[in-house]
């Protein structure tokens, strides 16, 4: 269990210092007051600072562990980046990488980033407790990639509707395939199907009434 103690002129100041030291928001930390502040005689002599103990929640510990694992991997790779984080709307954790050399971590179509994400997730998942979904991002790359894929999928869907012939895409990772599946679910004139296994798994866009 991770726990730190911090002092300040008030409870609030001590808590803020502890949160900054941990790099966590207030909702991911349990705060225990150890000592109240005491200004002493006439506010001049014998004063005592407030002292608190901060203990991360289970989610807080997972965030710290994930950041520590990722920082260790990046150090081994010789890549210096800043690591920020945010909770995903659908649950889980996004670790955001930024810095002059962060772009090196993306790779072709995000393959390097995906591999790094897989390693971090596997290591963090060894810890007891609920499994945490982890997503890595480099300066907004994931969102840009999603938008590009959606536009690409919509263009191919239009081609399929115009020609009546299915289109087979190049192999994609599961996240990219899911993006295409989701955006084309809204179009009743086409359907998507995954074919193949492992790294060779491909997505096919076909007319809705046509069997493959």
Q: Which two tokens stand for residue 124?
A: 């963090």
Structural domains in the chain, sorted by start: 4-56 (no CATH), 60-139 (3.30.300.20), 144-207 (3.30.1370.50)
17 pLDDT more than 60 = yes
- The pLDDT assigned to 98 comes to 93
Q: In what order do the strands lie in the sheet with 29-35?
A: 4-8, 50-56, 29-35
- The pLDDT assigned to 45 comes to 47
Nearest to 105 by CA among 116, 96, 95, 94: 116
Q: How far apart are CA 84 and CA 99, in angstroms?
A: 11
The pLDDT of 154-166, averaged and rounded, is: 95
CA atoms within 13 A on the CB side of 104: 9
Q: How far apart are CA 174 and CA 172, in angstroms?
A: 7
Rg, C-alpha atoms of the chain: 24
Each residue of 126-156: pLDDT tens digit?
A: 876 667 789 999 999 999 999 999 999 999 9
Write the DSSP string, 12-74: HHHHHHHHHHHT--GGGEEEEEEE--B--BTTTBS-B-EEEEEEE-HHHHHHHHHHHHHHHHH
For the entire predicted model, the pTM comes to 0.74
Least confident residue range of 1-15, 121-135, 149-163: 121-135
Q: How far apart are CA 184 and CA 176, in angstroms?
A: 13
- The pLDDT assigned to 169 comes to 93
Each residue of 31-90: pLDDT tens digit?
A: 999 888 877 555 554 568 889 999 998 888 888 999 999 999 999 999 989 999 988 887
Report the SS3 class of residue 138.
Answer: strand
Reported as a pLDDT band with limits 50, 70 and 90, residue 159 is very high
Report the SS3 class of residue 93.
Answer: strand
Reported as a pLDDT band with limits 50, 70 and 90, residue 108 is confident
Q: How far apart are CA 49 and CA 28, in angstroms?
A: 24
Each residue of 183-202: pLDDT tens digit?
A: 999 999 999 999 888 778 89
């Amino acid at each position: 269990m991770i726990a730190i103690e911090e002092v300040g002129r008030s409870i609030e100041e001590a808590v803020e210092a502890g949160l900054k030291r941990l790099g966590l928001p207030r909702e991911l930390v349990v705060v225990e007051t150890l000592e109240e502040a005491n200004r002493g005689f006439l506010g001049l002599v014998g004063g005592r600072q407030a002292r608190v103990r901060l203990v991360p929640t289970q989610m807080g510990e997972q965030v710290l562990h994930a950041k520590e694992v990722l920082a260790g991997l990046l150090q081994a790779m010789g890549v210096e980046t800043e690591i920020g984080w945010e909770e995903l709307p659908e649950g889980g954790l996004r670790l955001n990488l930024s810095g002059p050399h962060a772009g090196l971590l993306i790779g072709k179509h995000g393959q390097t980033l995906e591999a790094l994400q897989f390693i971090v997730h596997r290591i963090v998942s060894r810890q007891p407790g609920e499994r945490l979904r982890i997503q890595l991002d480099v300066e907004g790359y994931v969102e840009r990639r999603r938008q590009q894929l959606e536009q690409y999928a919509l263009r191919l869907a239009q081609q399929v509707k115009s020609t009546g012939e299915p289109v087979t895409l190049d192999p994609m990772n599961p996240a990219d395939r899911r993006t295409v599946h989701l955006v084309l679910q809204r179009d009743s004139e086409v359907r998507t199907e995954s074919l193949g296994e492992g790294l060779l798994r491909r997505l096919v866009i076909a007319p809705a009434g046509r069997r493959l």
